[in-house]
A and B are shown apart, each in its own frame.
Chain A
Amino acid sequence: MPHSQSSWPFERPEQLTDLLREQGATPEECADLLPAVRRLSEWQAPQPSPADTRHLLARLVPELPALSPVRQAIREHQQRTSVAFLLATARAQVSLFGLGFWLVSALVTLVGAVVVLSKVLPDQELVLRLSGPLLAYLGTIVAFRGRGARVLELELVCLPSPLQLAIARLVIVLGYDVSLCLALALVLWAGGTRDVLVLTLSWLMPLLLVAGLALLLSLRLSVQAAASLAYVSWLALGIVSPPQALLFAPELLVLPGCIGLVLLTIALLRLHTGMHRLLPYA
């Protein structure tokens, strides 16, 4: 079996000097060591012939894993970037939300805008503070209604994890709510309202708070009870004066939203770690 000899990887002597320097040798040491290192090239290794490589491949091919189109499709699916995967999952989840959800949410926002623009109430912010979280209530009930029907076992056999499904649904609900928020801001601005930003935030921030609270409570209560409790709690806060003064101070306008995002994060983490508790008969 004739073999040719493999080549020495360093064509120029300077390359060897560079290698010695890189490993910490001083210039004097380099000069001293270089002849010995250069002599390494004298020991050539055999090189396999193409026939040797073919022979080796023939031995290896039977060890290849069986080509499974299903496994390959799943692997390709998993290799997609997390954002693309999340958006693809969210797109698939859109059908969960019926026409009623989209229309009622838009209607609630529109009613809020009309009430503010008509100035029938002295406290315009209050109207928005109470109507915004109503969307969170609706969104939670619609997006997570399957929890009551015990679909978690079905979700567990799907490629996206229940956590990914929950995030995807939140992306839909909150994405739609933010779109409505932008539309509300546009309508208020077109109607000549002052403090558009403050009014819009008065609508969006409580929405986030109620959404976070509802999702967190839904880990212990039914989705209906959790969403109702979260919204009723917010309504109670909106009516009682002392917390109002604290929560709705202009400088703390974004505080409810921040708390809401923290609660959403905690809820998602708890959902992930406490999955077993949500299973039937757990």
Chain B
Amino acid sequence: MQEKSDEQLMTAVMVGDQVALAALVTRHHSPLLGYLYRLVGGDQQLAEDLVQETLLHVLRQRTYQADRPFKPWLYRIATNLARDYFKSAAVRKLWREGDEEEAMLHLYDSEPSPEERALAAEQDSEVRAALTQLGEEYRVVLVLRFYQGFSLQEIAETLRIPLGTVKSRLSVGVHRLRAILTPVQKGVD
């Protein structure tokens, strides 16, 4: 039997279909968690909370139009929630006092679990730090493109920006990433 599309499942969810909700959540839970995890700089607890908040918004807003692609809509909600979170008073205070990286580091160091400590010690922390140093607008497009595998068009729809802007942000983002990571690579070599 042919697998139902996201749009078909969401249409069914809107009329209260529990099976469709289970299918939709099972399909998107892991990618969405990965996206938000990287967007918030590796804070797993915060990412999990944002995943839940995103899906609650999906169910509560009821603004979904069946003729629109579901995935960009879902990720737009997730991105906006993450942005709202960082704009909230407590986080903004940190941002005013220090730089973005410091705020990010504070966020995922606030309740460090043994797993998180172990993770931070691993190699991935270099890439995490490099992505955190990028501006938010560049980090979002890089994560969508290289971790979520979004097409340029999907990124444009998700962020509601022109295709040309997506390309230029990706280009700038990748060049900055290379500039940040290259000294590290040389050091390793």
Binding site for B on A (CB under 8 A): 3, 6, 8-10, 16, 19-20, 22-25, 32-33, 35-37, 39-40, 42-48, 52-53, 56-57, 59-61, 63-68, 71-72, 75, 79
A-side contacts of B38, CB under 8 Å: 43, 45
Interface set, chain B 82-116, CB cutoff 8 A to A = 115
Are A43 and B131 touching (Cβ within 8 A)?
Answer: yes
Contacts A9-B149, A19-B146, A39-B181 given; 17 further ones with Cβ under 8 A?
A: A23-B167, A23-B174, A25-B171, A25-B174, A39-B126, A48-B33, A53-B26, A56-B29, A60-B21, A60-B52, A64-B13, A64-B21, A65-B62, A68-B15, A68-B16, A75-B15, A79-B66
B161 CB–A CB distance under 8 Å: no
Are A45 and B33 touching (Cβ within 8 A)?
Answer: yes
A-side contacts of B37, CB under 8 Å: 45-46
CA distance A215 to B51 in the complex (A): 56
What bracket does the count of chain B residues touching chain A fall in? 35 or more
B-side contacts of A24, CB under 8 Å: 167, 171
B-side contacts of A40, CB under 8 Å: 127, 131, 142, 146-147, 177
Are B16 and A36 touching (Cβ within 8 A)?
Answer: no
Binding site for A on B (CB under 8 A): 13-18, 21-22, 25-26, 29-31, 33-34, 37-38, 42, 44, 48, 51-52, 55-56, 59-60, 62, 66, 115, 123-124, 126-128, 131, 142, 145-149, 152, 166-167, 170-171, 174-175, 177-178, 181-182, 185
One of A6, A19, A67, A79 near B145 (C-beta < 8 A): A19
CA distance A48 to B37 in the complex (A): 12
A-side contacts of B167, CB under 8 Å: 23-24
B-side contacts of A43, CB under 8 Å: 38, 42, 124, 127-128, 131
B-side contacts of A8, CB under 8 Å: 147
A-side contacts of B15, CB under 8 Å: 65, 67-68, 71-72, 75
Closest B residue to A2 using CB positions: B115
B-side contacts of A56, CB under 8 Å: 25, 29, 51-52, 55
Which of A8, A44, A71 lies at the interface centre, i.e. has the most chain B CB atoms within 10 A of its CB?
Answer: A44
Are B171 and A23 touching (Cβ within 8 A)?
Answer: yes
One of A3, A9, A61 near B21 (C-beta < 8 A): A61
A-B complex: 9 closest residue pairs judged by Cβ atoms = A67-B16, A45-B34, A36-B178, A43-B124, A43-B127, A9-B149, A63-B59, A23-B170, A45-B37
Are B146 and A37 touching (Cβ within 8 A)?
Answer: yes
B-side contacts of A39, CB under 8 Å: 126-127, 181, 185
CA distance A22 to B30 in the complex (A): 27
Are A46 and B33 touching (Cβ within 8 A)?
Answer: yes
